[in-house]
Chains A and B, each alone.
Chain A
Amino acid sequence: MARDAAKVTVMFLGIWALFAAFGVVLGYGNNGLLALVRRVTFLSAVYGIVVLALNIQWGYAGLFNIGVAGFMAVGAYTAAMLSSAPGGMPPGLGLPLPIGILGGMLAATIVGLVAALPALRLRADYLAIVTVALSEIIRIVYNTPAFADITGGASGFDNLPTSPVNSLLLSNPSSTISEPTALGDVVFSFFSQFGIQRFTAINTVYTVGVLVALLIVYLVLERTGKSPYGRVLKAIREDETAAQSLGKDTQNFKVRAFALGCGLMGLAGILWFAMGPRASITPVTFRPNITFYIFIALIIGGAGSNTGSVLGGALFASLLFEAPPVVRNIITDAFAVSADPANLIEALVPIASGDLVPLAGFLLNNVDTLRFMGMGVLLIVLVQRRPDGLLGARKETAAAVPLTEDTRPDHGSAADNGGGSDE
């Protein structure tokens, strides 16, 4: 446990140091530096939460759910519908935010249960197809013009609930430049000592909140893993038939694990899209692509390990997702690459005359596309070479007592030499 905490801390410190260094190279001031590090931290934290949720389903219960995007959509949309202002467009119900969050998680759980009850009988690959189809159905239903009055249709749910940080720090939560509250005064004056603007300060506070949420989810899941329920889940992960033969109703446990995971995915959807910095809920966001990113993150960390899930989520979000564009900016600045060929052929032709600059410019400009190709290659290599990820292969004992000591009352007495050789 202590070692895991150290690993996660070291990794986050490393990520922060790396991106702070990036910011320094790019010549950012304090405000820009914090904004960059904050963005990476936020993404790492939300990925951490949703990867933990997927780990419950796939890592522990062996349920191959590739409908993550759909469950996040249900959470985010429901929370927004429940607690956004009734006057906006599309109108919300104006309920307090905690009720909205709980409602969103509950809705995602219920959708998960409805899907799980019949679907979990299926083979793993059938379940995969069912869940991805379900997530597409959910997305298209939110997207359809028929319900645009309620969901906002293709342009998304614009009327987002007020961020809790805004209500905490500002007298008028809908305006960033309004008079701060007493607490807000303390926070803003603290940040302004370092030349950090109010907007960045608000987002930073929110990100710290998400980190706390990640910690809570992690601790709850670790605790669950040590409970009788978690022990059965681990048993299912190791050998479902053995767990069944011990009289466990594995189907029941799997349904509950699936529902729990879906609820947490709903929470991640809310924290990620319904509030906080640059929140926006649009159907396009919930395409299956995002599900696959989460899967890559889980496979990097190693299915079956909570700590690995957090590590994988953070590493994916920072190194694979956020870093490439930043590195591109650094290279473009450092080498003054201004070549911008319109297509691959124009970039390749000058190589014949020894001119590599157009190709470099083209690669840099298409770093987003290259990033996705790289993710594909990484996924293939991981599945082939390291299917257990960074931390998935280790043994986690499920027993409550340490197994390293021999606690049998009179050990050795039954040895074949008739006993008596007790040292």
Chain B
Amino acid sequence: MEANATVERGLRAARRSPGAAVVWAVAVVLLLDLLAKLVGVSLGPLRTPWFSLWFGGDVPISEAAGLAWSGIVIGAVIGLASIGLSLTYSILNFANFAHGDYLTVGAFSGWAVTYVIAGVGGLLALGETALNALTGLGQSRLGDADLVALVLLRTPPLDAGANIWLSPLAIVVGLVVAVGITVAVALALDRFVYRPMRDAEGISLLIASIGVAFLLRYLVAFVFGNGRRIVTSTEKLPSLDVAAAITDLLPFLAPARSAVIVDLHELTLVVVAGVLMVGLHVLLQFTKLGKAMRAMADNRALAQVTGIPTERVIKSTWVIGAGLTGAAGYLLVLSQGGLGFQTGWLLLLLIFAAVIMGGIGSIYGAIAGGLVIGLASRLSLIWLQGDLSSFARPTAFALMILILLFRPSGIFGGVETA
């Protein structure tokens, strides 16, 4: 009786919105399939004229856990970057296509500073040199370092030794500089590009942001060159095979079939991203600025009438958004190692996907959306193996298009406020 009523209710819901029913059905099948794969049950093959379909299979839990961890890592970066995009989207009312390039700017500026500090032997050496220059005593230690190669990120990573274990201070200073420079660039661009057209329509601002994207991306290429490079050094970097650690701790488990490696860079990224997100939460919920921002996202004219200094709130929006984006760019490079002038641009659509998934303007939605996109893009590799693995990105984009079409307020219900 009870079960019948539940089925009845489900069927009614499915009839009301067939699209959502299909999505749920697919999600449930995928989840069951994943569980079957993890316990090692397989059914099939289900033969069709074109291909044969297997249900379940055999995927080691450790492999799934490894994919999930790398999904969390990339998801934390996307989530951090998507906060800024979501904020500017709701408060300034336009889709900022230059957002990915803000991330690139942060990554390059921060790493240039990290390289210089790590390359000449830490802050201590820099301070000593400055002191020597001031007092005229002693010798400069900068002499034997090739500063030009360092600041342009052309020194091989092993020589620079930019790594959180060998030169933690350089990493911290680099992160701060990445945030600072990205904020400065964003404020300057707002002053000269977006402020003169504050009342323009969203599309005009969007086109202007495409211009900004071109300018920033090729400015970075102009200064740093257009080759892709590896910048982090993995020398002596502590890392831990979590799978092996767990099986060591719990000897009754069978030995893990693949390693789940977590290194200190990834851990740093996740911790720093988490701290920044919590800090933002506190800022928005418990300060006047947060309230003003939420009011502006709802209705700018009304906020202005109420006496909220809109220009100042917009400035704060850029500071918060660009700062987090710069940090995201710096941390992305910390965990992935590679850096090129297209890095941020190539990530932009995934950031958009996260923003849209979480509902434009919702900060918690953007964070959650980033994690969902990150996890989905990695966990989908369980199904998309071999040649099919290149479909991971299109899957995320297709998901984004479907959400825009059928649930433009985002999957979490969508309030258009922070």
Contacts and interface: CB of A to CB of B under 8 A. Distances in A.
A383 interface: yes
Contact of A125 (B154, B203, B222, B394): B203
Nearest to B98: A376
A143 B390 CA distance: 9
Contacts, number: 128
A132 to B, nearest CB: 7
B94 A380 contact: no
A137 to B, nearest CB: 4
B217 to A, nearest CB: 8
Interface in B132-154: 148, 151-152, 154
Nearest to B221: A369
B215 interface: yes
A298 B168 CA distance: 50
Given A64-B203, A137-B394, A369-B222, A380 B193 contact: yes
A129 B352 CA distance: 8
Interface in B385-402: 387-388, 390-391, 393-394, 397-398, 400-401
B211 to A, nearest CB: 3
B2 to A, nearest CB: 38
Contacts of B400: 129, 133
Interface in B76-107: 94-95
A122 B405 contact: yes
A384 B197 contact: yes
A130 to B, nearest CB: 5
A190 interface: no
Contacts of B356: 129
A403 B404 CA distance: 44
A227 interface: no
A12 B178 CA distance: 48
A301 to B, nearest CB: 14
Contacts of B352: 129, 133
Interface in A291-348: 292, 295, 299, 343-346
A126 interface: yes
13 contacts: A119-B405, A128-B95, A128-B206, A133-B400, A140-B391, A146-B388, A146-B390, A292-B210, A295-B210, A343-B152, A369-B226, A370-B222, A383-B204
A168 to B, nearest CB: 40
Contact of B212 (A126, A295, A346, A376): A376
B214 A292 contact: yes
A195 interface: no
A130 B406 CA distance: 12
Interface in A210-234: none
A6 interface: no
B329 to A, nearest CB: 19
Interface in A17-58: none
Interface string A122-157: 111110111011101100110111101000000000
Contacts of A384: 193, 196-197, 208
A145 B211 contact: no
B202 interface: yes
A128 B206 CA distance: 9
B95 A125 contact: yes
A132 B197 CA distance: 24
B300 to A, nearest CB: 16
A379 B208 contact: yes
Contact of B349 (A133, A373, A375): A133
Given A125-B202, A133-B401, A145-B390, A378 B211 contact: yes
Chain A interface category by residue count: 35 or more
B213 interface: yes
Interface in B366-402: 387-388, 390-391, 393-394, 397-398, 400-401
**Best-surrounded residue of A369, A372, A387 (most CB of chain B within 10 A):** A369
A137 B200 CA distance: 31
Nearest to A362: B222
Interface of A: 64, 118-119, 122-126, 128-130, 132-134, 136-137, 140-141, 143-146, 148, 292, 295, 299, 343-346, 366, 369-370, 372-373, 375-380, 383-384, 387
B122 interface: no
A132 B394 contact: no
Interface string B31-66: 000000000000000000000000000000000000
Contacts of B397: 133-134, 136-137
B213 A376 contact: yes
B169 interface: no
A362 to B, nearest CB: 9
B15 to A, nearest CB: 20
Contact of A379 (B214, B225, B408): B214
Contacts of A122: 404-405, 408
A146 B151 CA distance: 41
Interface in B219-234: 219, 221-223, 225-226
B125 interface: no
A179 B218 CA distance: 48
B411 interface: no
Nearest to A292: B210
A126 B408 contact: yes
A148 B154 CA distance: 36
Contact of B215 (A123, A299, A366, A373): A373
B387 A144 contact: yes
A122 B405 CA distance: 7
Nearest to B392: A140
